[in-house]
């Protein structure tokens, strides 16, 4: 019997229909209601779960509009967490529900919302290795932890319930600044990672040749390691595609920072700008970077430790860019983006970069 946690952010997506581009903050939520916005997240959650008839799962749900009401309406077996809610749900309610769920020995967490909800989920369970599936219900969906549509999320949940074992992979949790978004400026930031099932046919395009992106990431890692120079300091940046490098080296690592490696050994974990500048003085460095987010940032999103001072004097040959088939497909031919904080450095790094995309396989891809 699989045990599945369910959390619904009942106000997710309310700002979309009335053009508010999100509902972060009490003031914006109140404005959305004044403009006639109505809750939609539970409708989308019902759409996702309506096809589930499995006796092999029990849901552990947050009370009321945060999950239990939807399960009750669908007749799905569930237990309700012992917690109380106010008139309006808050981020603290989501955090509390997740913390209580961690005591229930869950197999999977299902959450319905947008990028703000994904951030909260990642903050609580991101380092637990507990698989999660996101039902897209918010205005902002930049995180790859969500299914492409609610019905696809339901298919993924059903497949998870039926499977004896499920391969998993790390997926990025991204969010944007809503105030800038309302001014038509998209400023996305990497906030963490969640473990998701490797169900590419539902959540993302299949990798070519039948390989999953997980398989490809380890093949990429082997290629990078085989070509490492023992006299060079390698600055291994954040990203799910760089994690296998540290795993195959059997070295500790951080998900959201830079780890410095030389001759196969960890020199410094989670190095900040000051440490990177010190390493730069000790010998030659090369950067191992992944492509961040669906927009395809190479610099400036999730790797701000690479300040203009760290980047000064480097050229494209000092960049080792790793990218899965999925990331390349998501770009749809758009160039990688550079936002180092220095127009001069961005200008020097524009042009074609060599991407490691598989076992001894490379693409030449533009950045601007």
Q: What's the pLDDT tens digit per position in 180-191?
A: 444 545 556 788
Residue 36 buriedness (CB in 10 A; 0-12 / 13-18 / 19+): exposed
Of the pLDDT bands very low, low, confident and very high (cuts 50, 70, 90), residue 252 is very high
Residue 263 predicted with pLDDT over 60: yes
Q: What is the mean pLDDT of residues 296-309?
A: 84
Identify which of 335, 331, 333 has the alpha carbon closest to the alpha carbon of residue 351.
335
State the Cα angle at 17 between 296 and 143, rounded to 5°: 25
The confidence score (pLDDT) of residue 18 equals: 38
Of the pLDDT bands very low, low, confident and very high (cuts 50, 70, 90), residue 194 is very high
C-alpha to C-alpha distance for 104 and 63, rounded to whole angstroms: 15
The confidence score (pLDDT) of residue 209 equals: 36
pTM: 0.67
Q: What is the mean pLDDT of residues 101-112?
A: 96
CB 359 within 8 A of CB 223: yes
CB 204 within 8 A of CB 326: yes
23-32, 53-62, 89-98, 245-254: which has the minimum mean pLDDT? 23-32
Identify which of 207, 262, 218, 270 has the alpha carbon closest to the alpha carbon of residue 240.
218
Of the pLDDT bands very low, low, confident and very high (cuts 50, 70, 90), residue 293 is low
Q: Provide the b/e sequence for 257-290 (b: ≥16 CB within 10 Å).
A: bbbbbbeeebbbbbbeeebbeebbeeeebbbbbb
Domain locations along the chain: 2-203, 211-367
Of the pLDDT bands very low, low, confident and very high (cuts 50, 70, 90), residue 206 is very low
pLDDT in tens, 153-180: 999 999 999 999 999 988 888 876 655 4
C-alpha to C-alpha distance for 8 and 120, rounded to whole angstroms: 12
Question: CB-based contacts of 230: which residues, under 8 Å, 6+ apart?
Answer: 262, 263, 264
CB 42 within 8 A of CB 65: yes
Q: What is the mean pLDDT of residues 104-122?
A: 93
% of the chain with per-residue pLDDT over 90? 53
C-alpha to C-alpha distance for 10 and 33, rounded to whole angstroms: 13
Q: What is the mean pLDDT of residues 290-308?
A: 80
Residue 50 predicted with pLDDT over 80: yes
Residue-averaged pLDDT of the chain: 85
CB 321 within 8 A of CB 353: yes
CATH 3.40.50 correct for 2-203: yes
CB 93 within 8 A of CB 68: no
Identify which of 292, 233, 237, 304 has the alpha carbon closest to the alpha carbon of residue 270.
237
CA 78 to chain centre: 28
Residue 284 predicted with pLDDT over 90: yes
Estimate the share of the chain in helix, then strand, then coil, as percent rounded to the nearest 5: 35, 25, 40
C-alpha to C-alpha distance for 245 and 230, rounded to whole angstroms: 15
The confidence score (pLDDT) of residue 41 equals: 86
Rounded CA Rg of the chain: 21
131-140, 175-184, 189-198, 285-294: which has the minimum mean pLDDT? 175-184
The confidence score (pLDDT) of residue 207 equals: 34
């Amino acid at each position: 019997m699989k045990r599945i946690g369910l959390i619904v952010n009942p106000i997710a997506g309310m700002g979309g229909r009335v053009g508010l581009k999100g509902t972060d903050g009490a003031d914006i939520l109140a404005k959305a209601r004044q403009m006639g916005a109505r809750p939609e997240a539970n409708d989308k959650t019902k759409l996702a779960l309506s096809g589930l008839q499995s006796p092999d799962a029990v849901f552990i749900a947050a009370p009321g509009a945060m999950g239990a009401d939807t399960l009750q309406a669908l007749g799905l077996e569930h237990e309700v967490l012992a917690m109380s809610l106010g008139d309006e749900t808050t981020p603290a309610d989501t955090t509390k529900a997740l913390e209580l769920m961690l005591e229930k020995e869950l197999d999977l967490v299902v959450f319905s919302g947008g990028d703000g909800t994904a951030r909260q989920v990642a903050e609580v369970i991101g380092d637990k290795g507990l698989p999660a599936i996101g039902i897209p219900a918010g205005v902002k969906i930049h995180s790859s932890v969500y299914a492409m549509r609610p019905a696809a999320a339901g298919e993924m949940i059903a497949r998870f319930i039926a499977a004896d074992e499920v391969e998993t992979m790390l997926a990025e949790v991204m969010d944007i600044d809503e105030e800038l978004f309302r001014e038509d400026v998209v400023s996305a930031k990497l906030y963490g990672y969640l473990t998701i099932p490797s169900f590419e046919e539902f959540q993302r395009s299949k990798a070519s040749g039948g390989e999953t992106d997980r398989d490809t990431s380890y093949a990429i890692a082997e290629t990078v390691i085989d070509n490492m120079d023992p006299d060079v300091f390698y600055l291994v940046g954040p990203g799910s595609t760089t994690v296998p490098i540290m795993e195959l080296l059997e070295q500790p690592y951080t998900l959201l920072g830079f780890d410095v490696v030389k001759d196969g050994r960890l020199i410094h974990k989670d190095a900040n700008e000051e440490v990177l500048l010190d390493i730069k003085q000790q010998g030659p460095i090369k950067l191992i970077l992944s492509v961040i987010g669906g927009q395809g940032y190479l610099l400036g999103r999730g790797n701000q430790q690479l300040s203009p001072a760290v980047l000064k004097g480097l050229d494209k040959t000092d960049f080792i860019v790793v990218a899965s088939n999925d990331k390349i497909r998501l770009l749809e031919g758009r160039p990688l983006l550079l936002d180092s904080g220095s127009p001069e450095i961005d200008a020097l790094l524009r042009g074609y970069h060599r991407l490691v995309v598989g076992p001894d396989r490379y693409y030449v891809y533009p950045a601007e």
